[in-house]
Chains A and B, each alone.
Chain A
Amino acid sequence: MIARISLRVGVLVYLAAILLVPVGLVFWRTFEHGVGPAWDAVTTPDAKHAFWLTLKIAAIAVPLNTVFGVLCALAIVRHRFPGKGVLNAVVDLPLALSPVVVGLSIVLLYSRDGWLGSLPFQVLFATPAMVLATIFVSLPFVVREVVPVLREIGTDQEEAAATLGAGAFSTFRRVTLPAIRWAVAYGVILTTARAIGEYGAVRVVSGNIEGKTQTMTLLVQDSYDNYDITGAYAASVLLAMIAIATLLLMTMFRPREEST
């Protein structure tokens, strides 16, 4: 009994010291003098621009990664082909790779003497490179959520549909897709959170041009570097609220997925 309670207290103290107290403190500091100063800090033209750019990048990266994720999961679970192990490893790589290395790789590919350095439009230090970096780091989530569910549901129902004369596409639309929809939704939530929160890779490829290539996370760092603590805290709290909303969505979606 004593061991159990001291273990519980130890774990809770660790969580408080590492996680809860720091995050709570930033919230408290931000709203210490009311909502006004924080609101002013996140509605400056630069902050608004950063907010919309972040959403724009996520709006491109998330749908692309969702389509790719579902197709890739189908290929991994339902098809046999040489090089599947390599495909698996490549899809997981963004989980283990430093975001700075991701950014550098994109810079090297699209820099002036890189292999794709003479494209007719600007890639580096502009939105395309930031979208590419975001796609790279948020690539695995939909795949990793959909693969286990596809494995679990098996092929019985799909085979039944095929026996009854359904084509491959209507089988996918009416049998497979409804079965994996919660896993896809969960993967989309994780992808979106990662896309909005990415910092390192985007910082390397963006050039961090104020009012041009600055996302929310870059704004946090820029405000901090310029001793604008109110601005840094306010933008951080906005991002933290998005993260907490993500957690709430995740806890809402998790049990449903398990019951299907």
Chain B
Amino acid sequence: MAVDAAAVRAPAAVRTPRFAEVAGGGFIVGYLSLVVLLPLAALAAEAGNFEHAVTNREAVSALKLTLGLALAVALVNAVVGTATAWVLVRDDFRGKRIVNAVIDLPFALPTIVAGLTLLALYGPRGSSGINLAYTRAGVLVALLFVTLPFVVRTVQPVLLELDTEMEEAAASLGARSTSIFRRIVFPNLLPAILSGVALAFARAVGEFGAVVLISGNLPFKTEMASVYIYGRIQSNDASGAAALSLVLLLISFATLLLVGALRRWATRHDRQD
């Protein structure tokens, strides 16, 4: 859209031939337009009836539930994700490498399989004796499953790079471990924690596969925004589906902008050191 193929220019040293620039730029713009931009434009055009998303009671209830649960997911991940990253970097125990590899499993496992596995344990005939099917707690657990790696994987590299000298100096000056964490470690980790949390939030807002089985999709109770949209599509209400979809699209864009700003903040931090 705004990527102008003709304006693509190489830095002076390694000259890419003109036709290669135009062909490459053209391919990128064409590919993105066909795959991403045209479909999203069609969505925006269909969502003309925007009031639907903010006036239809079921849509509003689904959106509120989604945002509330996504916030809860963000909070839990901020704490547990940071703790997990800490254990993986600073602690040492047998099997740590396996635990480290397992963290990525929710990224690799199809979401529908995630939903099914949770039902096997926490479903109506689940082995745990706890039945979370068709409850908000069940949806929360499913969202925690799929968002597990985000904060761990953004905090872990920062914690690895963090020099322990500052902490040792503070300890030798008599600071207690809680105040060392609060005043030295935490401020260094904060940008990474926040960008992990933002990504987990965005993922939770849009999640479909993991929640569709466990939520039971009860309107006003466990129906998430993505599941509501799916229901509208099934009943041929394209404009209703598109209206709420556009809201989700805007939330995604806003989250990505926030993550970008956080990344710039974090690198500015580095340069000052």
Interface residues of A (CB under 8 A from B): 3-4, 7-8, 10-12, 14-15, 18-23, 25-26, 29, 64, 68, 71-72, 74-75, 78-84, 86-109, 111, 114-116, 132, 135-136, 139, 155, 158-159, 162, 168-169, 171, 190, 193, 196-200, 203-204, 216-217, 220-221, 224, 232-233, 236, 239-240, 243-244, 246-248, 250-251
Contact = CB atoms under 8 A, between A and B. Distances in A.
B15 to A, nearest CB: 7
22 contacts: A4-B91, A8-B87, A12-B99, A18-B145, A81-B4, A82-B4, A83-B2, A84-B3, A93-B36, A93-B253, A93-B256, A95-B199, A95-B256, A102-B39, A105-B245, A109-B38, A136-B39, A155-B14, A196-B110, A233-B116, A243-B110, A247-B104
A98 B14 contact: no
Interface of B: 1-4, 7-11, 13-17, 20-21, 24-25, 27-28, 31-32, 34-40, 42-43, 45-46, 80, 83-84, 86-87, 91, 93, 99, 101-113, 116-118, 120-122, 127, 141, 144-145, 148, 177, 199, 202-203, 205-209, 212-213, 225-227, 229-230, 233, 238, 241-242, 245, 248-249, 252-253, 255-257, 260
A100 B39 CA distance: 13
Contacts of A101: 43, 206, 226, 229, 245, 248-249
B110 A199 contact: yes
A196 B111 CA distance: 11
B242 A108 contact: yes
B109 A197 contact: yes
Contact of A98 (B102, B122, B177, B208): B208
Count chain A CB atoms within 10 A of each CB in B38, B112, B206 and give the residue with the most: B112
Nearest to B66: A98
A190 B110 CA distance: 12
Given A8-B91, A83-B4, A98 B108 contact: no
B35 A132 contact: yes
A155 B80 contact: no
B139 to A, nearest CB: 13
A25 B105 contact: no
Contact of A86 (B2, B112, B118): B2
A158 B14 contact: yes
A224 B113 CA distance: 11
Given A86-B2, A98-B207, A101-B43, A79 B10 contact: yes
A10 B109 contact: no
B28 A72 contact: yes
Given A82-B3, A136-B39, A158-B13, 6 more contacts: A11-B84, A79-B8, A159-B13, A190-B107, A239-B110, A250-B104
